[in-house]
């Protein structure tokens, strides 16, 4: 046991010992410089010229959804939405893996971060992250909410994440599909992560926990970014990876509440996290200056290639397109601390449509909002994953299916109720292609997308007339400040109008087919979706 341990650190040791851990080399809530020094000394990473710690995550450069499990017990058996996303694991097999993980830590340096998830104090969760390496602990410190000194002195975790990079499961004995695992035990309030270095598993496992716990408290958990204007008007931006959620929320004219995970309670909205986790691929200072400037000492870059001078090459995708950087939210200017906001005035769904047929922006009714929220549409591009040679549609309910542990209708009902209660305006914005599909058309201009978001948020789109899209059934504004009128109806940007209609009808039919998986739904929601003629 370290001779320099404080009283609160000794308390942490006692808590761990009572939980069955035998830890002698504890490093608890070290400051970032100390964690960075330890990571470099242990050859876990290196400093880039920006000052950010650069690490590589090996085999896994993204999440491993097929290796994620939920312990199936009395608490979860009838509440979890079991299926392709939420895989069950028995309590006995969980205990077997946990006991081996505990033994594997004996005699090793163990890094602990104690903090919180949830900026609203009434509903926040006290958490503990235990890792066998310094850089993942730095990641946890920067991504979760850091405690004050008085909070740290009295910290008692209500949920613990244990991540051991080199620990492997025994599939035949443990009931896992491979050596890699992410296991959530809601009863024992433990998350086990093994045989993966990708730190996003730590972040998203706790997001999944919140998605399970909060609805039972009447709080709506959301996979979205949020910001607030000087006038106090709050906006939410939902979207899957690559749709622009982080980029569009980092608006210099508005204050950032958070870039990825939020809750909506009776008090308003609140960030789950204390940091951001931005994609770095093709990052340009001129286009995303706030994120660019946040990549400095204290930040953690994953799988970003450094040249011989240790300069980051953000255009190099030789390891992965999913290059990432984690940094404290304070690294973004004009952030809101604590990260809370009013009930949202505007809700925006982002979809990167690679088929080039969705309108750049459409206004949604409450029923349409529920329909598109349950659909969670975007598209994957050729080359982003092995075997994808042309754009493919992706439907991820609630814009975050891999993290939603209850049935989609539970979350959609919460959204619909809150839209009705607070009269939130809802828009669908296509950040994908216009003028044709990927390879033919062009990507929506980022500045024009920003103009659409701005017009939606500040109320300019409430002052114009609309036409209804005959296939996608959304209302299209006839004008929008900062955007050429002719592109607002996507058919105008296609040289072959017939091909547009064929492609639009194809995508509409995919929406309809996907929605059938939800079974019996109210007709007003079904009829709010695209129309297949």
Q: Residue ranges per domain, the chain?
A: 7-45+60-217, 279-331, 345-526
pTM of this structure: 0.93
245 a catalytic residue: yes
Q: Which helix (H) or strand (E) holds 361?
A: strand 361-364
Cβ neighbors of 5 (< 8 A, separation 6 or more) are 13, 26, 28
From the list 27, 245, 262, 372, the catalytic residue is: 245
The CA distance from 413 to 272, in Å, is 21
260 a catalytic residue: yes
324 a catalytic residue: yes
From the list 93, 203, 324, 380, the catalytic residue is: 324
Predicted pLDDT of residue 24? 82
223 a catalytic residue: yes
Which of 377, 367, 315 has its CA nearest to residue 521?
Answer: 367
**Ranges of H-type helices in 354-482:** 366-375, 408-422, 446-458
Cβ neighbors of 306 (< 8 A, separation 6 or more) are 46, 48, 54, 312, 313
Predicted pLDDT of residue 249? 87
Grade residue 261 by pLDDT with cuts at 50, 70 and 90: very high
The CA distance from 498 to 183, in Å, is 49
Cβ-based burial of 530 (10 A; exposed 0-12, middle 13-18, buried ≥19): buried
How many angstroms separate the Cα of 219 from the Cα of each of 39, 123, 259, 291, 484? 38, 9, 19, 30, 40
Cβ neighbors of 266 (< 8 A, separation 6 or more) are 218
DSSP string, 291-309: HHHH-SBTBEEES-EE-TT
Predicted pLDDT of residue 498? 97
Predicted pLDDT of residue 213? 98
From the list 9, 132, 259, 260, the catalytic residue is: 260
Predicted pLDDT of residue 43? 97
Q: What pairs with residue 350 in β-bridges?
A: 429
Phi/psi of residue 455, nearest 5 degrees: -65, -35
Task: Look at domain 7-45+60-217 and name its CATH class.
Answer: alpha beta
Burial 109-122 (b: 16+ CB within 10 A, else e): bbbbbbbbbbbbee
Sequence length of the chain is: 533
Predicted pLDDT of residue 499? 97
Predicted pLDDT of residue 8? 66
Peptide bond into 71 cis (omega under 30): no
pLDDT tens column, 40-97: 999 999 999 999 999 999 999 999 999 999 999 999 999 999 999 999 999 999 999 9
Contact between 246 and 257 under an 8 Å Cβ cutoff? The reply is no
Predicted pLDDT of residue 462? 94
The CA distance from 141 to 327, in Å, is 9
Predicted pLDDT of residue 390? 64
63 a catalytic residue: yes
Predicted pLDDT of residue 241? 80
Grade residue 6 by pLDDT with cuts at 50, 70 and 90: low
How many angstroms separate the Cα of 398 from the Cα of each of 242, 349, 373, 512? 16, 10, 5, 16
Q: Which helix (H) or strand (E) holds 9?
A: helix 7-18
Predicted pLDDT of residue 7? 54
Three-state secondary structure of 149-198:
HHHHHCCCCCEEEEEECCCCCCHHHHCCCCCCEEEEECCCCEEEEECCCC
Instruction: Provide the 8-state DSSP code for 120.
Output: S
Predicted pLDDT of residue 526? 95
Mean pLDDT over each residue of the chain, to the nearest integer: 94
The CA distance from 521 to 371, in Å, is 10
pLDDT tens column, 312-334: 999 999 999 899 999 999 999 88
Q: What is the CATH number of domain 279-331?
A: 2.170.8.10
Cβ-based burial of 67 (10 A; exposed 0-12, middle 13-18, buried ≥19): buried
3.40.640.10, 3.40.50.200, 3.90.228.20, 3.10.20.580: CATH of 345-526: 3.90.228.20
Predicted pLDDT of residue 381? 62
102 a catalytic residue: no
pLDDT tens column, 439-463: 899 999 999 999 999 999 999 999 9
296 a catalytic residue: no
The CA distance from 131 to 25, in Å, is 12
What's the whole-number mean pLDDT along residues 493-510? Answer: 96
pLDDT tens column, 217-226: 999 999 999 9
Cβ-based burial of 246 (10 A; exposed 0-12, middle 13-18, buried ≥19): buried
What's the whole-number mean pLDDT along residues 190-195? Answer: 98
From the list 27, 87, 146, 204, the catalytic residue is: 204
Helix axes 200-213, 134-143, angle to 10 degrees: 40
- Decide if pLDDT at 248 tops 50: yes
Which of 326, 299, 291, 306 has its CA nearest to residue 53?
Answer: 299
From the list 223, 262, 363, 380, the catalytic residue is: 223
Percent above pLDDT 70 for the chain: 96
Percent above pLDDT 90 for the chain: 88
Q: What pairs with residue 341 in β-bridges?
A: 269
The CA distance from 409 to 520, in Å, is 11
From the list 129, 131, 176, 246, the catalytic residue is: 246
From the list 63, 87, 363, 425, the catalytic residue is: 63
Grade residue 408 by pLDDT with cuts at 50, 70 and 90: very high
Predicted pLDDT of residue 21? 92
Bridge-based pairing of strands 361-364 and 425-430 is: antiparallel
Predicted pLDDT of residue 450? 95
What's the whole-number mean pLDDT along residues 117-131? Answer: 97
The CA distance from 473 to 450, in Å, is 23
Cβ neighbors of 14 (< 8 A, separation 6 or more) are none
Predicted pLDDT of residue 387? 44
């Amino acid at each position: 046991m370290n001779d320099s341990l404080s009283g609160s650190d000794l308390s942490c040791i006692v808590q761990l010992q009572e939980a069955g851990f035998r830890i002698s080399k504890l490093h608890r809530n070290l400051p970032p410089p100390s964690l960075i020094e330890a990571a470099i000394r242990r050859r876990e990473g290196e400093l880039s010229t920006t000052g950010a710690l650069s690490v590589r995550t090996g085999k896994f450069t993204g999440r491993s959804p097929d290796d994620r499990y939920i312990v199936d017990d009395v608490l979860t058996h009838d509440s979890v939405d079991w299926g392709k996303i939420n895989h069950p694991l028995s309590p006995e097999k969980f205990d077997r893996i946990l006991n081996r993980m505990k033994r594997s830590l004996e005699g090793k340096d163990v890094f602990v971060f104690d903090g919180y998830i949830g900026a609203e104090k009434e509903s926040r969760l006290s958490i503990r992250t235990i890792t066998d390496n310094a850089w993942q602990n730095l990641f946890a410190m920067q991504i979760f909410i850091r405690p004050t000194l008085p909070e740290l002195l009295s910290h008692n975790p209500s949920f613990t994440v244990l991540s051991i990079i080199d620990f492997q499961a025994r599939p035949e004995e443990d009931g896992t599909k491979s050596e890699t695992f992410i296991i959530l035990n809601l009863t024992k309030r433990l998350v086990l992560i093994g045989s993966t270095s990708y730190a996003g598993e730590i972040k998203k496992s706790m997001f999944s926990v919140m998605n399970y716990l909060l609805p039972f408290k009447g709080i709506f958990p959301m996979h979205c970014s949020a910001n607030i204007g000087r006038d106090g008007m709050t906006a939410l931006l939902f979207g899957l990876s690559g749709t622009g959620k982080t980029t569009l929320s980092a608006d210099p004219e508005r204050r950032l509440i958070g870039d990825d995970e939020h809750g909506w309670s009776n008090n308003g909205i609140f960030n789950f996290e204390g940091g951001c986790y931005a994609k770095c691929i093709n990052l340009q200072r001129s286009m995303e200056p706030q994120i660019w400037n946040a990549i400095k000492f204290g930040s953690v870059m994953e799988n970003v290639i450094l040249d011989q001078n240790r300069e980051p090459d953000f255009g190099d995708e030789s390891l992965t397109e999913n290059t990432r950087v984690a940094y404290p939210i304070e690294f973004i200017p004009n952030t809101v601390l604590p990260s809370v906001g009013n009930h949202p005035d505007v809700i925006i769904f982002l979809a990167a449509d690679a088929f080039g047929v969705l309108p750049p922006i459409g206004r949604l009714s409450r029923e349409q909002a529920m329909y598109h929220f349950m659909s969670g549409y975007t598209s994957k591009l050729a080359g982003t994953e092995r075997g994808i040679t042309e754009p493919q549609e992706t439907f991820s309910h609630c814009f975050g299916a891999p993290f939603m542990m209850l049935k989609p209708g539970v979350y959609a009902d919460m959204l619909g109720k809150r839209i009705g209660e607070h009269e939130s305006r809802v828009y669908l914005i296509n950040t994908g292609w216009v003028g044709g599909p990927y390879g033919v058309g062009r990507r929506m201009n980022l500045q024009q997308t920003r103009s659409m978001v701005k017009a939606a948020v500040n109320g300019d789109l409430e002052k114009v007339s609309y036409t209804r899209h005959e296939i996608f059934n959304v209302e299209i504004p006839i004008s929008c400040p900062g955007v050429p009128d002719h592109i607002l109806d996507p058919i105008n940007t296609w040289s072959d109008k017939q091909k547009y209609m064929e492609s639009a009808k194809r995508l509409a039919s995919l929406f309809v087919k996907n929605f059938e998986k939800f079974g019996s739904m109210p007709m007003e929601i079904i009829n709010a979706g695209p129309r297949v003629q």
